[in-house]
């Protein structure tokens, strides 16, 4: 657990400094410990270290860990969700970070027994390798979701390009923030859209500066047991 505690202290300090640089409250930023590359035992260590927001990107990983971690965790599904896998995990998660198509919304509506907090995934960078809606598709998509009683759009999510050009990364986050404010301003009852899920191990400080309310941090926080073994 010492590894996680040390990493967490360093990350929290960097998040605080990033928030201070732009006049934000550090309390407005939540850290999701992404446990996809570590064991259930390491995920439990993260929980014991005070990290109650846990993220998985595969149904199998989420099901395995949630069977052992019964209480105390807020579960985020951060990967692309296959429609056929919805029924396995939808009632086990608190947040879905990858809502990007009506067929997925249909399946959530069919399978969920409660309201699911969803982030609409946006492909701000336009990379073919990334999932998500194009920015101009977001508001029409969200308006379509008003007919779904099990879906609540709490915010938008994106992934920045894997590049050393930090201005490119910053512009992606900046553009998602502008889009989030536009959705929020419309005042949709089903889509308050107050939150932004953006920033990972290599770019979370920039994400915080540009308005992230959730950062998704894996290797820099909990390590990578697959790589280290």
Residue pLDDT, tens place only, 148-160 = 999 999 999 999 9
What is the spatial distance between Cα 147 and Cα 190, in angstroms, rounded to a whole number? 9
User: What is the pLDDT at residue 128?
Assistant: 84
pLDDT > 70? residue 59 = yes
What's the pLDDT tens digit per position in 184-207?
999 999 999 999 999 999 999 999
Contact status, residue 100 vs residue 126, Cβ threshold 8 Å: no
Task: Give me the torsion for CA of 31, 35, 37, 39, rounded to 10°.
Answer: 140
What's the pLDDT tens digit per position in 73-104?
999 999 999 999 999 999 999 999 999 999 99
What is the spatial distance between Cα 5 and Cα 179, in angstroms, rounded to a whole number? 35
User: What is the pLDDT at residue 185?
Assistant: 98
Contact status, residue 4 vs residue 219, Cβ threshold 8 Å: no
User: What is the pLDDT at residue 229?
Assistant: 43
């Amino acid at each position: 657990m010492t590894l996680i505690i040390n990493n967490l202290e360093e990350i929290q300090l960097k998040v605080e400094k990033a928030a201070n640089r732009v006049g934000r409250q550090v309390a407005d930023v939540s850290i999701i410990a992404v446990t996809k590359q570590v064991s259930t035992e390491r995920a439990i260590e993260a929980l014991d270290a005070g990290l109650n927001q846990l993220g998985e990107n595969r149904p199998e990983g989420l099901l395995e860990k949630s069977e052992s971690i019964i209480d105390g965790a807020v579960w985020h599904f951060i990967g692309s969700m296959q429609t056929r896998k919805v029924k396995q995990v939808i009632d086990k998660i608190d947040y879905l970070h990858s809502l990007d198509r009506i067929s997925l919304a249909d399946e959530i509506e069919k399978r969920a027994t409660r309201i699911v907090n969803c982030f609409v995934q946006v492909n701000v960078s336009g990379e073919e390798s990334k999932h998500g809606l194009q920015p101009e598709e977001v508001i029409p998509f969200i308006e379509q979701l008003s007919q779904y009683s099990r879906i609540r759009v709490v915010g938008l999510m994106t992934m920045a390009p894997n590049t050393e050009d930090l201005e490119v990364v910053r512009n992606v986050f900046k553009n998602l923030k502008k889009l989030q404010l536009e959705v929020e301003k419309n005042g949709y009852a089903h889509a308050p859209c107050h939150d932004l899920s953006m920033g990972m191990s290599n770019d979370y400080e920039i994400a915080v500066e540009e308005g992230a309310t959730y950062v998704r941090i894996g290797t820099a926080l909990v390590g990578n047991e697959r790589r280290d073994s």
